Amino acid sequence: MIKKVSGLLLAALILVTCFSGYVLGAEDGVADAIKGTPVIDGEKDAIWDNAKPIVLAKYKEGSADLNAQPTVYVMWDEDNMYILADVKDDIVNHSNESAWLGDCVEIYIEEVNEKATGTTKTGCQWLVTVKNDVFPHSRLVGANYDNRTLTTAVKTNDNGYVVEIAFPWVDLKGKVAVGTKVGADFQVDDDSTAMGLRDGTIVWLNGTMNASTWGTINLVEGPPAPAAPAPVAPTPSVPAAPVNPSTGDSGMTILYTAAALAGSGIWFGIRKRFSK
């Protein structure tokens, strides 16, 4: 009986541990943003290779087989939070006057991470279409939302499109630092039929205006600077063997050679032979 109870407790402990890891995993609302300053040009430059991917895999509408497959990356510095959405999409289209009824990226940001239920005081929602049209959502304005000027760039590519955003700090201006936590959620809208209607909605967590359902972005240090290469010790040069060094007088060279032969007795042998 004791062994059975112990086994059950062990199993329960394993389940709790696994479940805790699942709850605290990045896919469930906790992610890191490394420090760095990218160029906002619609390109996934090398600086983004160090950023942690946030895969949007929750389809409120549509499916991964029919609709876009987005991955979001986040960085930060003292001036901005930077968001890059790399969207795999076979059909890129935005032909509806309503921003959310075509291909677009929606970001939800609550700077001070209040996780407020209902209308958040510091949160706001912005939409950036594949045409690079930028819209603040009027029903979720937040404090100071209209004081912001987002810098954005959008580029299509063979696989879909990239949206890059610089979101300026307002409530955290002058206060942002390593360890700061920011409330956030991300959503991508998709018109996979090019008919001017949204048939796909892909979110990180919930994609609602209720900030209490948003995730948390931890601002962390950037990657360490690459180590300076070790100095290379110079390789000592070996002087080449002299090749026929010149004496400056070819005649003298002949005399020296003759004298050497004479001294060795070879010259007399040669002379005696030819004098016969």
In a domain, 263, yes or no: no
In a domain, 3, yes or no: no
pLDDT of 235 reads: 66
Let me know if residue 102 belongs to a domain. yes
- CA dist 218 and 113 (Å) reads 10
Residue 37: pLDDT over 90: yes
Average predicted confidence (pLDDT) for the chain: 80
- Assign residue 144 the CATH number of its domain: 2.60.40.1190
Average pLDDT rounded to a whole number, residues 181-188: 97
For the segment 158-177, what is each residue's pLDDT rounded down to a tens digit?
999 999 999 999 889 999 99
- Whether residue 265 is contained in a domain is answered as no
The number of beta carbons lying within 10 Å of the beta carbon of residue 197 is: 14
Quick one: residue 132, left, alpha or beta (phi over 0 = left, psi -120 to 50 = alpha)? left
Instruction: Please tell me the least confidently modeled range out of 63-77, 216-230, 246-260.
Output: 246-260
Instruction: For residue range 83-105, list pLDDT tens digits in order.
Output: 999 999 999 999 998 888 999 99
- How open is the CA angle 107-110-115, to the nearest 5 degrees? 120
**Segments forming the whole domain that contains residue 170:** 29-220
Both structure tokens of 210: 């209720």
Model pLDDT, residue 14 = 40
What pLDDT was estimated at residue 27?
A: 56
118 lies in some domain? yes
Count of structural domains, the chain: 1
- What value does the mean pLDDT take over residues 204-215? 93
Coil, helix or strand at residue 50: helix
pLDDT for residue 255: 46
The 10s digit of each residue's pLDDT in 96-146 is: 988 889 999 999 999 989 898 766 777 888 999 999 999 887 656 555 555
Task: For residue 262, name the pLDDT band (cuts at 50, 70, 90).
Answer: low
Q: How many CA atoms lie within 13 A of 108 on its CB side?
A: 29
Q: How many CB atoms lie within 10 A of CB 61?
A: 14
CA 246/CA 252 separation, integer angstroms? 11
Residue 66: predicted pLDDT: 94
Helix (H) or strand (E) holding 194: none
pLDDT at 148: 75
3-state SS, one letter per residue, for 209-247: CCHHHCEEEEEECCCCCCCCCCCCCCCCCCCCCCCCCCC
The answer to the question of residue 202 being in a domain is yes
In a domain, 4, yes or no: no
Q: How confident is the model at residue 209 (pLDDT cuts 50, 70, 90)?
A: confident
Token couple for 137: 């959502």
Whether 259 is in a domain gets the answer no
